[in-house]
Structure 1
Amino acid sequence: MYDPVERRNFYGRIHGKTLRDSQKTYLAEDLEALSLKGVTREDNPERTPIDLSRFEGKPLWLEIGFGGGEHLVHMAATYPQVGLIGCEPFVNGIAMLLGKIRAAEVSNLALHPGDVRDLFDVLPSACLDKAFLNYPDPWPKARHHRRRFVTQGYLTALARVMKPQAELRIATDIADYVRQSLEEVPLAGFALQDQGDTPWADWYSTRYEQKALREGRPPYYLTYRRNGGAGEV
């Protein structure tokens, strides 16, 4: 069962190659204003729900692990009437996103530069209308499959913060990730709506997808809806 005060291990990367001077500038000048307040335990030891008033009146979407930010900025520009939250612990990816935000001049998004579990702790229940999981870390070794996002610890926390009938999209190039998703995601309270090799109409192909295609790994696209509402249990 998901425990918001459990001791957590984090296995992903935090730092990569040396940042360019421009990227250091983005981090120094832009990150604080875009970051959600009250997500860390230091700033919010009681783990009370965070203030989302900047998105008042807007549907709220979340991208879990936005990589270099291509998809997140595309969605922000395509849907200015929507509020978006991007979550990513990898500093290099955060710096890349900040540069893209400046170039696109989008203002309808906010960031959590850290572990998404900390964000789940403080998001209000049933606040998200849509969530994206694009090319998550595959953790290919069998003994590491428990580290994948599509396990109950992550999924039940996500389910809590999604509205009934909210949409969850998963894109991956790993067939075994699809297998685990099909097994685990319904157990957390989601119903499969569609699966196949055709992307969504508003999809933006990321650099991870382009790499997969170059290396001969076909993409898979899964669409789920959160159970509840519209006559569902």
Structure 2
Amino acid sequence: MNISVSRIHFPVTTLGPGKRIGIWFQGCSLRCKGCLSPDTWQVKDSHFTVAQLIDQVQEWLPFADGITISGGEPFEQPDALLTLLREIKQRFKGNILVYSGYEWGVIEDSVAQMSPYIDALISEPFNVEIPQTLMLRGSDNQRLHLLTPLGKSLFKQYQRVVTPEDKKLDLAFDDQGRLFLAGIPERGDMQRLSQLLALQDNTLKQLKK
């Protein structure tokens, strides 16, 4: 089973409880305005398989508390998503959180087929015009669904508003050396990060002269 993946990373500490493996799917037709990851929009042909992905994350599984699957849009590769979830659950006792930009009514039947592999799921499209005050959500229209007993016990703590202590992001590099953010940034965080990186780049150029 082929799967198109943008990147994987461990540990991610800002998209659910504990240290998590992050898996970002490649390809999204929703293309929400203000999306954090527009580099994951383009659909790309892939000869990468679910088995190869499992091999890559296998060494992290003993050290991970959970797995977060995002994108891109995972439900635009439903067969690959189902296969991946099934393979993970055969090897991993931790929890799984999935992000989708689709409305719940659109993916509800698909989610039912994937039960009990998904412990918690966040649905609904990101809307940059809507306030952002809730944990794990980029805009307050997004819904957190607790789908299993494990999901209810672990993710009920996220059914609340964000506090200053919650506002954290993971910075990481992908295989191509590109910096990316993992987490839910506040509005304006990306612009501030870009300005900071540009300032540091200019400083390094001055020092090399």
TM-score (normalised: structure 2): 0.36
TM-score by length of 1: 0.33
